[in-house]
A and B are shown apart, each in its own frame.
Chain A
């Protein structure tokens, strides 16, 4: 157990917390926030595992830097989709009243 493992485990935990939110939270914005927490966990894991010597491994760092920009653009698109869903249905949540929970 050292600092790499500590950061790595924190990343795994964040991934699990985020995934829980994605699967359980019915509100679209809460799902989106959860998804970003989960991807934050993955980024933390990758960055932590890349630093296990004198100098950090630049390849995973470059992948994470690319991933951050991708996740920002995907989040913006998802927010726009949520806004469109709200306009079309009058609700921004997947929680259906009447038992049909999807």
Chain B
């Protein structure tokens, strides 16, 4: 049926989609070309208030102070994604294991032994440097997540580990602490995420450290939760 008459609905749909997307592209392209070549946006406002943010880098100031609620909701979404993936329970019968595991392979084992400590130190540096240079919890969390994914895919860290109590605490700590800070600012300062200026730098550093650990754990758990999909695909 698809060979003869089934082909035409596909063709018609393709034409409709291409027409609609061409129209969208033209409208958006015109809008992009109408944007004036020079404009500061909100960078002047950010620069003006940077001294009250507790950090010296404008991006970190926006992420953790001026628009801290974005970051708060973001770590919440990450936590919800982990719970959603767990609730689908796609790994009831399968575990991701490499054959042979890395501890039988000297090159892989020594290589990991050299690379992983460097990645962990780099992740710590990323959090610290975020206060005055590009860096921060997300970059650091990505590094930690990558380190964990390397361990998982080399067979050194088996996936049931992802649901251990320690990992659950790591996952929740970033959101829990950030949420407590947000609640405290609402109670004591009357406004969401308005830090006292003299403490702002320290509060942001602690939040970023916990966020980095939570983001790293969440990325690793999400990877562990969905890895093995290829095995099921191969079976068909």
Contact = CB atoms under 8 A, between A and B. Distances in A.
Interface in B42-93: 42-43, 46-47, 58-59, 61-63, 66-67, 70-71, 74, 77-78, 80-82, 84-85, 88, 90
Per DSSP, chain B at the interface is: helix
B10 A101 contact: yes
Interface in B134-152: 138
A4 B41 contact: no
Interface in A37-86: 45, 49-50, 52-53, 55-63, 65-66, 68-70, 72-74, 76-77, 79-84, 86
Contacts, number: 156
Interface residues of B, number: 60
Nearest to B219: A72
Given A45-B32, A73-B80, A99-B2, 18 more contacts: A5-B32, A5-B37, A16-B24, A16-B25, A50-B41, A52-B35, A52-B38, A55-B40, A58-B42, A59-B42, A62-B67, A63-B70, A66-B74, A73-B78, A80-B88, A83-B232, A98-B1, A101-B6
Interface of B: 1-2, 5-6, 9-10, 13-14, 17-18, 21-22, 24-25, 28-29, 32-33, 35-43, 46-47, 58-59, 61-63, 66-67, 70-71, 74, 77-78, 80-82, 84-85, 88, 90, 138, 215, 218-219, 222-223, 225-226, 229, 232-233, 236
